[in-house]
Structure 1
Amino acid sequence: MGVPVVEAVGVTKRFGATVALREAGITVEAGESHALVGRNGAGKSTLVSLLTGLQQPDAGSIRFAGEPAPAVGDTAAWRGKVACVYQRSTVVPDLTVAENLFLNRQSVNRQSSNRQGGSALRPIRWRALRARAAELLAEYGVDVDPGARIARLTVEQRQFVEIARALSFGARFIVLDEPTAKLDARGIERLFAKLRELQAQGVAFLFISHHLQEVYDLCTRVTVFRDARHILTAPVAELGHDALVEAMTGESGAPAPAGTVGMVRAGRSDAGRGAALLEVDGLTLPGSFADVSLTVCAGEVVGLAGATASGCVQLGETVAGLHRPRGGRIAVGGRGLRPGDIPAALSAGVGFVPEDRHLQGLVANRSVAENATLTVTDQLGPYGTVLPARTRAFARRMIDDLDIRTPDAVTPVAALSGGNQQKVVVARALATEPRVLVAIRPTNGVDVKSKEFLLGRFRRHADEGHAALIVSDELDDLRGCDRVVAMFHGRVAAEFPAGWSDDQVVAAMEGLTTSEQHETKERSAHGGHD
């Protein structure tokens, strides 16, 4: 191999008494997709902050193409070395693609000398700007209209724009932080195809993901961090799923099927179910779903599976009161629920874990205690008051229940790892002891052990006589469900009891029919007889 595109050797970073990285390192070659995996708090985010110039290591060295990294603060120099496409988009939604590509550099020669020897800004030549944008997009094979507003693009297209913008600065090394978190299966396929094309042009990627199967689908090598240390770097083809999970967790064992986590299957029979706690009958939300019906009973965990455009997320949000449907009925515990009313849903006993904890789930500058108790302020003091001591005591119970790793209840929630932040969101949803818990993609961006814990906590909630509806396109989220309802293009496509196979559920989410599903439909059509 030639000179690595980036090399970090023996890097250490401390934040006060906390050691975020201890003599860690990584090497990424030109044209390589290199995976970086580890549990939340393993040091991945700290390494990214060092590789992108946001932080300076306390010890160790970082080199790009054999040369020392630029000085911290030299933004222009860092842009020519590395870029990061974060899970949360950094493009400006109200601007066009062209404007985002050349933000703050709309003209190559923006200044010209005036008669007094000074300089004057030239007006932006919009036609030339769009032409330059079209050339840049064409160079990297990105099929997006330069004049389109970013807000109208898909998540996948926005990512392509961010990658093209990074490459336009001359960077040949791009960090991808959870790039597939909001993409459906087809979107992931297109993203990976584009990354492989860019790899062929010599672009290198550091791929960070909690979806371990994607590591095997895309990457050639993988580096594992654990407890702020480098554990191993190995070719993906030589590292089995069990060995990878063991390296991440430090625990040996025989996990469930390759690359999977989750609850033990319950598989409750019809006779073992309790009374219906959630009833959705003929629900319709124009543009999202139509005539959807489903029931979740006491003691059940039901999965609602679907791709991005299936409408399943909007259905879960509608149950929680975020949208007002045009038709149909929702009932909780046999009583009709006023549609489109969040306080009414809370009062009726609906707990809600939103899809995006950053935008919908957390008040980042507030403490763990304040975030965990937002839904129960009426229990924290008399006559509408909120007593700090009672808040901390209530929060401490939730911290213990959800195993939230935090120095104390008054720590800002922004200081926690992603997995612990998600536990705070779940704690708030469970604080009201809801009859029905609706959780939308609840394990996005969390580590393997946090996934197992959260999914197990949902099962315990159901075992206590309540019900849970897990809305997700992640098969690992669905494996422990008693039933899985699959949606496609706004309608229920199929329903599966425990024991389903991956290809059955994926096919239903993609609007396909497997031979097993066809046989099931045939038996149903003939009264269940062969």
Structure 2
Amino acid sequence: MSAPLVEAEGIVKRYGPTVALADGRLTVLPGESHALVGRNGAGKSTLVNVLTGLQAPDEGTVRFDGEPAPALADRDAWRRKVACVYQKPTVVPELTVAENLFINRQPLQRGFISWRRLRREAADLLATWDVHVDPEVRTADLKVEDRQMVEIARALSFGARFIVLDEPTAQLDNREIERLFSRMRALQDSGVTFLFISHHLQEVYEVCQTVTVLRDARWITTAPVAELPRAALVEAMAGETVAEQAATVRDTVADDAPVALEARGLSSESYRDIDLTVRHGEVVGLAGSSGSGKIELAESLAGLHTPTSGTARLDGRRLPFGDVQAALGAGVGCVPRDRHEQGLVTGMSIGDNATLSVLGRLGRYGFVGTQRRRAVATDLIARLDIHAEGPDQPVSDLSGGNAQKVVMARALASDPRLLVLINPTAGVDVKSKESLLARMDSAREDGTAVLVVSDELDDLRRCDRVLVLFHGRIVAEHPAGWHDHELIASIEGVDHG
């Protein structure tokens, strides 16, 4: 058995009180495609950051070819060991392929760039690795699959033979995916080793020889793909057996309950042909991997984006797209995906933040009644159990959980008929999480229609049903009472039929 090309042992990485990786382990053999899988938050990105020298581990070791990893500051040494091709391009779109391949290391002649030599060396490099791309074309004009191959060729030109592919198929169609896999196999035959990260387990079985599973920031197992049945792989990722999981008991929404939200034929760059309904008093979950389109769909319904086609109606009235204020006026409340960037005005008080969506109700002729705002804010603080000195306290003083409650308070302040929640419990403590989910339950009991997008299974367990998006389409619907392995199998594109 050949010696490992890459070894990571006992990797621990903390960010303040958050343990992003408690026990990261990886052993990759030369010339293989090695899959790294796990649900969102399992620790995959943190391990990749350590393997590519972007961050130093707090504990543990990384070795390449049996030797310790380079010093963090020695970027050239890291480039000779490993490279990562991310979902988002790291090339400069306005530069040509040749310019991108040799950026910051262009061949010089008498102190000036030799463009003829640059083009020749780029053509030679592309030919060496069988990448059929014109070196003089603008990188922005390339298809995604060709851009990825240019990034791989650039990494190989530094001497790296270990390439991390982070969700490389997220933006590719089936034919492009098959071409990428063919190119990966050819590169493997030439001595290139891949770490393949994907939410689509079907792809792991198509292109990888070995798989490592992370769960809850820990290494769970490493096994040959051919010896690991899909059900066992999903169980390793989910960490549950059917007997362990308690089903949530709740009254189901009556079939004749009035429809609040009705979407028909919604399409955009991120999702296609979406039909869905949410009844009053119903909580519907949207699940899927990071590239599934679930967040973009929810944000469209909240007024953040405009679909390219299709319609949505709320209580029979057409929902406005591309206008958050108009969506708010139409009866949509939203907890956005990032409370720091989209949810809070950090220079303002808790009371100001909580009442931003209802300023028109707090006064007349453009003036806001101070006492009235204070009364509304105090009521919201009590309703959501926000631990604070009062409405005048700066929102920047709050813990993550209490800050998220302020965002939820503002979404509820307008008494919405449709509540769109995007990752509503991300980054909050257990107690705050339970409090936020209780507010979701009470909104449901008040007859509000709730659409919740989340990577957290505990959030989705409170739903009456969960719709799963895969490559922008709704591919499955799970009624309440589903088991973790069933939902994860749908999210990861595993066909149990």
Alignment TM-score, normalising by the size of structure 1: 0.62
1:363 matches 2:345: no
Alpha carbons 1:182, 1:308 under 8 Å: kept: no
1:100 matches 2:100: yes
The DSSP-based 3-state class of the residue aligned with 1:56 is: coil
Match of 2:418 among 426, 433, 436: 436
1:331 matches 2:320: no
Is there any run of 5+ residues in structure 1 with no aligned partner, and where?
113-120, 257-261, 401-407, 447-452, 507-530
Q: Corresponding residue for 1:378?
A: 356
The DSSP-based 3-state class of the residue aligned with 1:88 is: coil
Structure 2: distance between partners of 1:46 and 1:149: 33
Number of equivalences: 447
**How far apart are 1:322 and its partner, in Å?**
4.2
1:68 matches 2:68: yes
Pair 167,301 (structure 1): closer, same or farther in 2 beyond 3 Å: farther
Alpha carbons 1:365, 1:412 under 8 Å: kept: no
Q: Corresponding residue for 2:482?
A: none
**How far apart are 1:76 and its partner, in Å?**
0.8
Alpha carbons 2:320, 2:327 under 8 Å: kept: yes
Q: Corresponding residue for 2:188?
A: 199
Match of 1:278 among 254, 261, 266: 261
The letter of the residue matching 2:255 is G
Q: Corresponding residue for 1:209?
A: 198
Q: Corresponding residue for 1:514?
A: none
The DSSP-based 3-state class of the residue aligned with 1:224 is: strand
Is there any run of 5+ residues in structure 2 with no aligned partner, and where?
363-367, 388-394, 428-433, 480-485, 491-497
The letter of the residue matching 1:363 is E
Alpha carbons 1:38, 1:44 under 8 Å: kept: yes
Structure 2: distance between partners of 1:253 and 1:496: 19
Deviations 1:366-399 (A, max 9, x none): 89999x9998542699849999xx69x8599499
**How far apart are 1:80 and its partner, in Å?**
0.7
**How far apart are 1:233 and its partner, in Å?**
1.8
Pair 140,324 (structure 1): closer, same or farther in 2 beyond 3 Å: same
Deviations 1:244-279 (A, max 9, x none): 3444454333799xxxxx999x998xx814323234
The DSSP-based 3-state class of the residue aligned with 2:211 is: strand
Pair 462,128 (structure 1): closer, same or farther in 2 beyond 3 Å: farther
Alpha carbons 2:7, 2:26 under 8 Å: kept: yes
Root-mean-square deviation (CA), in Å? 5.9
Structure 2: distance between partners of 1:176 and 1:57: 21
Alpha carbons 1:362, 1:425 under 8 Å: kept: no
Deviations 1:465-513 (A, max 9, x none): 44466899xxxx9999979899999xx9999998xxx9xxx9xxxxxxx
Pair 156,436 (structure 1): closer, same or farther in 2 beyond 3 Å: farther
Alpha carbons 2:23, 2:218 under 8 Å: kept: yes
Structure 2: distance between partners of 1:111 and 1:462: 71
**How far apart are 1:31 and its partner, in Å?**
1.4
Alpha carbons 1:102, 1:165 under 8 Å: kept: yes
Identity %, equivalent residues: 53
1:174 matches 2:163: yes
Alpha carbons 1:87, 1:181 under 8 Å: kept: yes
The letter of the residue matching 2:341 is V
**How far apart are 1:232 and its partner, in Å?**
2.5
Alpha carbons 1:185, 1:307 under 8 Å: kept: no
Structure 1: distance between partners of 2:233 and 2:439: 26
Alpha carbons 2:213, 2:221 under 8 Å: kept: yes
The DSSP-based 3-state class of the residue aligned with 2:113 is: coil
The DSSP-based 3-state class of the residue aligned with 1:83 is: strand
**How far apart are 1:34 and its partner, in Å?**
1.5
Q: Corresponding residue for 1:31?
A: 31
Alpha carbons 2:7, 2:64 under 8 Å: kept: yes
Q: Corresponding residue for 2:390?
A: none
Q: Corresponding residue for 1:137?
A: 126
The letter of the residue matching 1:342 is V
Larger mean CA deviation between 334-343 and 460-469 belongs to 460-469
1:123 matches 2:113: yes
Structure 2: distance between partners of 1:486 and 1:47: 27
Pair 244,134 (structure 1): closer, same or farther in 2 beyond 3 Å: same
Structure 1: distance between partners of 2:464 and 2:124: 49
**How far apart are 1:74 and its partner, in Å?**
0.8
The letter of the residue matching 2:99 is E
Q: Corresponding residue for 1:44?
A: 44
**How far apart are 1:345 and its partner, in Å?**
0.9
Structure 1: distance between partners of 2:30 and 2:262: 54
Alpha carbons 2:345, 2:353 under 8 Å: kept: no
Alpha carbons 2:39, 2:237 under 8 Å: kept: yes
Deviations 1:38-87 (A, max 9, x none): 45554433332222122334554322122332222111111010011233
**How far apart are 1:98 and its partner, in Å?**
2.8
Alignment of 1:293-332 (within 5 A): 296-298=278-280, 319-322=301-304, 330-332=312-314
The letter of the residue matching 1:232 is T
Structure 1: distance between partners of 2:288 and 2:214: 32
The letter of the residue matching 1:200 is D
Q: Corresponding residue for 2:224?
A: 235
